[in-house]
Amino acid sequence: MSVNTFGRVFTFTTWGESHGPALGATVDGCPPGVALDEGWIQQFLDRRRPGSSKFTTQRQEADRVRILSGVFEGKTTGTPIQLMIENTDQRSKDYGEIAQAFRPGHADIAYHLKYGIRDYRGGGRSSARETAARVAAGGVAQAVLRDLAPGLRITGYMVQMGELHLDRANFDAAAIDANPFFLPDAAAVPAWEDYLNAIRKAQDSVGAAVEVLVQGCPAGLGAPVYAKLDTDLAAAMMSINAVKGVEIGEGMAAAALTGTANADEIRMGNEGPRFLSNHAGGILGGISTGQDIVVRFAVKPTSSILTPRRTIDRRGEEIELITKGRHDPCVGIRAVPIAEAMAACVVLDHLLLDRAQTGGRRGRIG
Amino acid sequence: MSVNTFGRVFTFTTWGESHGPALGATVDGCPPGVALDEGWIQQFLDRRRPGSSKFTTQRQEADRVRILSGVFEGKTTGTPIQLMIENTDQRSKDYGEIAQAFRPGHADIAYHLKYGIRDYRGGGRSSARETAARVAAGGVAQAVLRDLAPGLRITGYMVQMGELHLDRANFDAAAIDANPFFLPDAAAVPAWEDYLNAIRKAQDSVGAAVEVLVQGCPAGLGAPVYAKLDTDLAAAMMSINAVKGVEIGEGMAAAALTGTANADEIRMGNEGPRFLSNHAGGILGGISTGQDIVVRFAVKPTSSILTPRRTIDRRGEEIELITKGRHDPCVGIRAVPIAEAMAACVVLDHLLLDRAQTGGRRGRIG
Amino acid sequence: MSVNTFGRVFTFTTWGESHGPALGATVDGCPPGVALDEGWIQQFLDRRRPGSSKFTTQRQEADRVRILSGVFEGKTTGTPIQLMIENTDQRSKDYGEIAQAFRPGHADIAYHLKYGIRDYRGGGRSSARETAARVAAGGVAQAVLRDLAPGLRITGYMVQMGELHLDRANFDAAAIDANPFFLPDAAAVPAWEDYLNAIRKAQDSVGAAVEVLVQGCPAGLGAPVYAKLDTDLAAAMMSINAVKGVEIGEGMAAAALTGTANADEIRMGNEGPRFLSNHAGGILGGISTGQDIVVRFAVKPTSSILTPRRTIDRRGEEIELITKGRHDPCVGIRAVPIAEAMAACVVLDHLLLDRAQTGGRRGRIG
Amino acid sequence: MSVNTFGRVFTFTTWGESHGPALGATVDGCPPGVALDEGWIQQFLDRRRPGSSKFTTQRQEADRVRILSGVFEGKTTGTPIQLMIENTDQRSKDYGEIAQAFRPGHADIAYHLKYGIRDYRGGGRSSARETAARVAAGGVAQAVLRDLAPGLRITGYMVQMGELHLDRANFDAAAIDANPFFLPDAAAVPAWEDYLNAIRKAQDSVGAAVEVLVQGCPAGLGAPVYAKLDTDLAAAMMSINAVKGVEIGEGMAAAALTGTANADEIRMGNEGPRFLSNHAGGILGGISTGQDIVVRFAVKPTSSILTPRRTIDRRGEEIELITKGRHDPCVGIRAVPIAEAMAACVVLDHLLLDRAQTGGRRGRIG
């Protein structure tokens, strides 16, 4: 199968480079008869779009999506949906040095070693622009989930940026879309702004951690043992540019816990089992239990910084390099809508895969 | 494709339940002409085997592997290799309560909700006994890597158990196989023993963190953007029972770093690029760079504990449950050889996949 | 994915060689809660079993299947089902010449050229014994279809053996299982017996053509454009040993037809569309229409014959070779139950895949 | 995996409808560093293009391909190659009757039954226009094969059209591209023209048979038992619109042969084994032997004819239907370049897959 395809039965295949004429995603396996238009998908792209605040790259891309196939008279037909985004701001410039040098922390050297050739313009295929295609695909998934799992809701937000951590006592979902950090704590926003401004002025960048919450996810999704729901979520998040760690529920902190502390005890609620805690992050044995699914991941600091770093070029010459250009001081911010999109695709994929095997019937309790 | 298959071109499919007659793995895509026998694979299984110390389950399983196909006159033939392990110690017992109750932290309730039926004997398919099959498959991968990547070496070890952390200043690879914790610090072993004994006596269990180091990995492995090497490693580790988090290089700590601190600067060494640090964990843009690959993951504490926990049964009745039986107080320990096996399979799979696309040629520097 | 795996969501992976200790199939993606035991599967194996008449190999194999996993208390659990068949009659003999020589028409030379090593005992992996594993997997598919598509019926039969053709005017389904040829014409059986006896006495073998009819197949199965139902059926049949051609409906004869003759006109029946003919073989645009599905394929004559043929050996020496042993004079006969098994797997796979995408809903007419 | 993806390691995913804004193919797994431009691909598209003779549809499509990704400075980069063809001649018309009625022999009714919705404009996704995308993908495969298998040559041609058969005694490869039938017999062209003109004037259409010859194919391609070379070729051809049968070597005629007649005897040639005949069509046990690969398939007559046929509409009303429009009287003609493209993709895919497993080494003889 294509190494640029994600998913098992609801799949998408992305294509395109940062500075090529266009990029896009081919979504396949989509249920037919689902209402879908460009406006619906655009709302997801707009959340990710560069240039939306001073904390994201000033590259001006409309990121206008076109549906080229698979939708007829406003509904999906069950055939492949081609989502194309044309690159409009491919600023013409001299790539002289970047074309030859390997920027530290970037994929430049790895692509060169593997392929012997690389599209050096803006990082080519390794650019985070590829994630626009994922977000568009996620928009399709969200349209289907709206029909098939009406109570399901996917919410991403920042929980850490460098030294700053979300104070969970202040968690307020309503705040998330009202600040440039996707931060669920309005009161903390000024401090985050000051911090990131300082980072930027220091010609530096900073890492971040993002959490995605899936509420209302049906029980029974996930197919042990190599298509576990957490396995696929981990792959989904780790495939996002610059991600270095993924956690489910307690995540790495589980290493410090005892079994008595970690057990999510169960009582009987009105509508089925009721868990007294959620250390597991909503997944047991690779299968969703109906609890909230909690995924968290870390994004490394933007590698493109104005502070000079030592590196080499293709001839093997040792040089110092400053990466000019329009770069986010914290790429983790824009990872929020990308991660929501990936989560939507994983959940829908497993909802359909489960429907294939079990017909969506559920074992009863009581 | 089978949801119980792992891999892209070098694949394995596992089957079997904890208390069924046997379990195993079907390895496919293996290069032909590689020397392989049961003894070679057995050495890997013996490292994972239960009953090998007082810190692992006292279930006595020989875990004797049989090669049923794919090997002829001591060499692989290129056809599927069936590795079967018979279950010998399926202790006959009364499963009455477990058959009806859902053990907290276990997959019991998730399997019931998904399938409406479950093999409750020892956890059935969700038991960690499945990992014996992975270790056997990993043994095949190690045999092939020995031929195709002679300098490559995969080493797993514990870096944390509950409150105890490996002191990296004392790192000594030679110590790893000389203590029951796969701990690369001989001097710390007595403290770890005391700690785990106390946990056990308290009828409790504890989590752990494991690190896997891949040294001598060729550059160029990994296929962006959904078959990245780190993506597949994350999926590999997250698919192991009880794993809740996976990290590459800096992992979750990357969220706290600045770009200047995180940059792995590059100089020119005698045999190619030389990195001055390894925050990236050996992977850039999803492709190996030739640096050491560093993967780390957290294992939650064993859910089966003798301390009573609140739960429900199939009728929806609220009960308290003690999970008797022969359980590891820290399942993270035995995750070490399992993780090595998964790493071996991922690396070999990508070595072959890369050979398909690029023929194994590498872009030159200098 | 494993090259020894067939299917998309209902999958099976076969393993094993002709003269190894065992062979088998790992069935995955099977719906849970389906009644299944060894006796059910055995009935399918018994139809294919060697030694059942003088027209099939006299190798005496019990072909006794064991279910090693995936079934609990008589029902499928949704986890992988391991079906193992031990080889009992691995007649010890001197393989001296066969080990070195390439039998004409056999895979010997191809395996040697590809892998550089081959298990020459009885053809190793290329032996038709592999098909026992498919038949076992097909038995699982038949058990599921019995539940999910109660009116569906799969019937295979011979339509040609060498110079003899089935006279369709005499078609009698009841006769199929009452003669050694799976021939739906009892009156023709003596002539077929005489013909094949003559072939055998001449130390020769002969080809055959087999047809499989799927009645009661729901409309809507098949996923254009590369998972068309006819595409997957063609792959399924062509993957059977010795098959050289596959036809759907009119098959190769469609080349001679005009559009007016070939059109399957449609009228309205009591329960939906009623087709006035079935040139299409039940599939339009890769999707089942509800008509009978008609698949036909040709099997080449057994390559192992007692008449000497010219060939070479590994050293490149030119020799003449007689293939002794216990060989079917017409391997096409035993292809009947194998083809039924493959058809069952394809249809079930698509039924589940369609359930994933469409939920099994159907567009209405009228 | 996407049901609109073909291939295992060299893959392509097609998208687009007959009358949508565009259609295309995403080619993935392509080796890097291969010279490729739009002109190279265009030559393959031009062979398939409608409107090139009076025997093909008069729809005027430039079928101008654009490469949107994966190629940089005239060479492939190893990343996905997006090939887009815009639809220019989407003749505006009233689809009133076609929108409601099911054309006999077309996929209309099948799509309706499966999806409950269909893009009825020109057949939507089920239109043969989809094959333009395959031909473009095949052009990429041909560019890679030019590098990796320089002696390999793929040639398609007509062997039958209705009552007319190619006289193989007159076979002349040079004639193929010099007549509108891809017929390797210049002398027969006038008779074929007269025949097809008569068919067209009778407001009818006619079927055809096409053969594809792969010369210079390396031995060792194909991966038993479910990725056999002939299995994948059968799937490739059967997935082409209107194909009803596929044959390898002797094909269906093998049913009539005896083992003595069918054996391809082997002698030792200067450069390895030399086969005295080629009943097998170049493939034994699913693996290429180095002989010419011979694939043949039948295409049913165009279903769109001007002669009225009985059918029903969505309301279940019985009607008579004439399919107006610009239709080929023999769609089999344009299947020739499509089949060549599919053959190129299959052979390249297996060449890379074999390189993954065996490294391309070959077992020696002599």
pLDDT tens across B149-178, in order? 999 999 999 999 999 999 999 999 999 999
The verdict on A17 touching D (C-beta cutoff 8 Å) is yes
The annotation status of D218 as a binding-site residue, yes or no, is no
- The whole-angstrom separation of Cα B135 and Cα B48 is 8
C318: which chain D residues are within 8 Å (Cβ-Cβ)? Answer: 267-268
D31: which chain B residues are within 8 Å (Cβ-Cβ)? Answer: 357-359
Q: Do B2 and C8 touch (CB under 8 A)?
A: no
Q: Taking the model in full, what pTM does it have?
A: 0.97
**CA distances (Å), origin B228, targets B361, C346, D126:** 18, 32, 34
Contacts of B265 (CB under 8 A, 6+ apart): A104, A309, A310, A311, B275, B276, B277
CA closest to A118 among chain D residues: D77
Look at residue D218 and tell me whether its pLDDT is greater than 70.
Answer: yes
Q: Do B78 and C21 touch (CB under 8 A)?
A: no
Structure tokens at A180: 């440039």
Per-residue pLDDT band for A326 (boundaries 50, 70, 90) equals: low
The whole-chain average pLDDT of chain D stands at 94
**CA distances (Å), origin B274, targets A109, B27, C12:** 12, 36, 46
Structure tokens at A35: 């209402």
- The whole-angstrom separation of Cα B121 and Cα C38 is 21
Report, as an integer, the average pLDDT of D279-292.
98
Least-confidence region, from A24-38, B93-107, D24-38: B93-107
The distance of B68 to chain A (nearest Cα, Å) reads 23
Q: Do A287 and B114 touch (CB under 8 A)?
A: yes
pLDDT at residue B215 in the model: 98
Look at residue A325 and tell me whether its pLDDT is greater than 60.
Answer: yes
pLDDT at residue C258 in the model: 96
DSSP 3-state of C158: strand
- The whole-angstrom separation of Cα A62 and Cα A22 is 12
Q: Do B115 and A358 touch (CB under 8 A)?
A: yes
- Encode pLDDT of C221-269 as tens digits: 999 999 999 999 999 999 999 999 999 999 999 999 999 999 999 999 9
Structure tokens at B345: 């399979």
Please check whether residue B65 is in contact with residue B38, taking contact to mean a CB–CB distance below 8 angstroms: yes
Count of CB atoms situated within 10 Å of the CB of C48: 24
Per-residue pLDDT band for C362 (boundaries 50, 70, 90) equals: confident
Kindly report the backbone phi and psi dihedral angles of residue A304, in degrees, each rounded to the nearest multiple of 5, phi listed first: -80, 105
- The whole-angstrom separation of Cα C345 and Cα B182 is 46
Chosen for mutation from A3, A355, A362 (greatest number of chain C CBs closer than 10 Å) is A355
The verdict on B193 touching A (C-beta cutoff 8 Å) is no
DSSP 3-state of B117: coil
Report, as an integer, the average pLDDT of C7-20.
97
- The whole-angstrom separation of Cα C321 and Cα C302 is 15
D28: which chain A residues are within 8 Å (Cβ-Cβ)? Answer: 2-5, 13
Nearest to C109 among D107, D250, D284 (CB): D284
Q: Could you say which residues from 41 to 70 on chain A have a Cβ atom under 8 Å away from some Cβ of chain B?
A: none
Nearest to A363 among B116, B206, B284 (CB): B116
The distance of D150 to chain A (nearest Cα, Å) reads 21
The annotation status of B26 as a binding-site residue, yes or no, is no
- The whole-angstrom separation of Cα B46 and Cα B343 is 18
Nearest to C310 among D244, D267, D317 (CB): D267
Look at residue A29 and tell me whether its pLDDT is greater than 90.
Answer: yes
**CA pseudo-torsion sign C110, C115, C121, C127:** negative
The verdict on C285 touching A (C-beta cutoff 8 Å) is no
pLDDT at residue C240 in the model: 98
Q: Do B77 and C124 touch (CB under 8 A)?
A: yes
Question: How many percent of chain D have pLDDT more than 70?
Answer: 96
- Using a 10 angstrom Cβ sphere, with 0-12 exposed, 13-18 middle and 19 or more buried, the burial of residue B334 is buried
In C205-265, beta strands by DSSP E: 208-215, 243-248
B274, β-bridge pairs? B267
The annotation status of B134 as a binding-site residue, yes or no, is no
Nearest to A16 among D33, D66, D68 (CB): D68
Q: Residue ranges per domain, chain D?
A: 5-358
B219: which chain A residues are within 8 Å (Cβ-Cβ)? Answer: 110, 113-114
- The whole-angstrom separation of Cα A280 and Cα A285 is 10
Q: Do D259 and C302 touch (CB under 8 A)?
A: yes
CA closest to D349 among chain B residues: B356
How far is Cα of residue B282 from the mean position of the Cα atoms in its chain? 19
Per-residue pLDDT band for A352 (boundaries 50, 70, 90) equals: very high
- Encode pLDDT of A45-86 as tens digits: 998 776 667 777 666 678 999 999 999 999 999 999 999 999
Per-residue pLDDT band for A361 (boundaries 50, 70, 90) equals: confident
Look at residue B61 and tell me whether its pLDDT is greater than 90.
Answer: no
Contacts of C286 (CB under 8 A, 6+ apart): C222, C223, C224, C225, C227, C228, C229, C230, C231, D107, D110, D239
Residue in the block written with tokens 């509800």 = C290
Overall size of chain C counted in residues: 366
- The whole-angstrom separation of Cα C181 and Cα C189 is 8
The annotation status of B92 as a binding-site residue, yes or no, is no
- Encode pLDDT of C265-284 as tens digits: 999 998 889 999 999 999 99
Look at residue A185 and tell me whether its pLDDT is greater than 60.
Answer: yes
pLDDT at residue D97 in the model: 77
Look at residue A92 and tell me whether its pLDDT is greater than 80.
Answer: no
Q: What is the DSSP string of C160-199?
A: EETTEE--GGG--GGGGGGSTT--S-GGGHHHHHHHHHHH
Q: Could you say which residues from 65 to 94 on chain C have a Cβ atom under 8 Å away from some Cβ of chain B?
A: 66, 68-70, 72, 75-82
Report, as an integer, the average pLDDT of A94-122.
91
- Please give the single-letter amino acid code of residue B21: P
Look at residue C304 and tell me whether its pLDDT is greater than 60.
Answer: yes
D359: which chain B residues are within 8 Å (Cβ-Cβ)? Answer: 31, 355
State the virtual CA torsion across A346, A248, A299, B222 in degrees, nearest 10. Answer: -60
Q: Could you say which residues from 201 to 260 on chain A have a Cβ atom under 8 Å away from some Cβ of chain C?
A: 224
The three-point CA angle D77-D81-D82 to 5° equals 150
CA closest to B363 among chain A residues: A116
- The whole-angstrom separation of Cα D135 and Cα D24 is 10
Look at residue D60 and tell me whether its pLDDT is greater than 80.
Answer: no
Q: Do D357 and B78 touch (CB under 8 A)?
A: yes
- The whole-angstrom separation of Cα B143 and Cα D304 is 59
pLDDT at residue C52 in the model: 64
The annotation status of A126 as a binding-site residue, yes or no, is yes
Per-residue pLDDT band for B91 (boundaries 50, 70, 90) equals: low
* Helix ranges (DSSP H) in B49-101: 96-100
Per-residue pLDDT band for D91 (boundaries 50, 70, 90) equals: low
B206: which chain A residues are within 8 Å (Cβ-Cβ)? Answer: 257-259
Least-confidence region, from A26-40, B183-197, B302-316, C186-200: B302-316
Report, as an integer, the average pLDDT of C9-25.
97
pLDDT at residue D329 in the model: 93
Q: Do C259 and D311 touch (CB under 8 A)?
A: no
Report, as an integer, the average pLDDT of D312-334.
90
Q: Do B117 and A312 touch (CB under 8 A)?
A: no
CA closest to A79 among chain D residues: D125
Question: How many percent of chain D have pLDDT more than 90?
Answer: 86
Least-confidence region, from A227-236, C333-342, D94-103: D94-103
Q: Do B357 and D78 touch (CB under 8 A)?
A: yes
Residue in the block written with tokens 């002797």 = D250
Please check whether residue D17 is in contact with residue A71, taking contact to mean a CB–CB distance below 8 angstroms: no
Q: Do A224 and C356 touch (CB under 8 A)?
A: no
The verdict on D274 touching A (C-beta cutoff 8 Å) is no
Structure tokens at A323: 């990466």
Question: How many percent of chain A have pLDDT more than 70?
Answer: 96
pLDDT at residue A84 in the model: 98
Long-range CB contacts (within 8 A, 24+) of A193-198: A195/A161, A195/A162, A195/A163, A195/A164, A196/A55, A196/A161, A196/A329, A196/A330
Q: Do D207 and C262 touch (CB under 8 A)?
A: yes
The annotation status of A285 as a binding-site residue, yes or no, is yes
* Helix ranges (DSSP H) in A149-221: 189-201
Q: At how many degrees (to 10) do helices B335-358 and B229-238 cross? A: 150
How far is Cα of residue B87 from the mean position of the Cα atoms in its chain? 20
Chains that touch C (3 or more CB pairs under 8 A): A, B, D
Per-residue pLDDT band for D52 (boundaries 50, 70, 90) equals: low
- The whole-angstrom separation of Cα D142 and Cα D151 is 12
The 8-class DSSP code of residue A187 comes to G
- Encode pLDDT of B213-263 as tens digits: 999 999 999 999 999 999 999 999 999 999 999 999 999 999 999 999 999
Report, as an integer, the average pLDDT of D176-201.
96
Sheet of strand C65-67: strand arrangement: C5-6, C11-16, C22-28, C81-86, C65-67
ipTM above 0.95, yes or no: yes
The annotation status of A125 as a binding-site residue, yes or no, is yes
D1: which chain B residues are within 8 Å (Cβ-Cβ)? Answer: 1
Q: At how many degrees (to 10) do helices B38-48 and B130-148 cross? A: 130
**CA distances (Å), origin A317, targets A123, A310, A312:** 21, 11, 5
Structure tokens at B324: 């008797």
D357: which chain B residues are within 8 Å (Cβ-Cβ)? Answer: 9, 29-32, 78, 352
Chosen for mutation from B357, B361, B362 (greatest number of chain D CBs closer than 10 Å) is B357
pLDDT at residue B50 in the model: 64
pLDDT at residue B304 in the model: 87
DSSP 3-state of D269: strand
Residue in the block written with tokens 């469409």 = C358
pLDDT at residue A196 in the model: 97
Which is higher by pLDDT, D265 or D99? Answer: D265
The verdict on D349 touching C (C-beta cutoff 8 Å) is no
Residue in the block written with tokens 């390894």 = B278
Contacts of D300 (CB under 8 A, 6+ apart): C250, C254, C257, C262, C279, D105, D207, D242, D243, D244
Look at residue B92 and tell me whether its pLDDT is greater than 60.
Answer: no
Q: What dotted CATH number matches A5-358? A: 3.60.150.10
**CA distances (Å), origin C248, targets C298, D114, D160, D253, D338:** 12, 20, 18, 16, 20
B309: which chain A residues are within 8 Å (Cβ-Cβ)? Answer: 260, 263, 265
The whole-chain average pLDDT of chain C stands at 94
The whole-chain average pLDDT of chain B stands at 94
Nearest to D303 among C163, C259, C316 (CB): C259
Per-residue pLDDT band for B88 (boundaries 50, 70, 90) equals: confident
Nearest to D113 among C199, C219, C255 (CB): C219
**Residue B30, CA atoms < 13 Å, CB-side half-sphere:** 34
Total CB pairs under 8 A between chain A and B: 412
- The whole-angstrom separation of Cα A201 and Cα A196 is 9
Look at residue B69 and tell me whether its pLDDT is greater than 80.
Answer: yes
Nearest to A2 among D13, D15, D118 (CB): D13
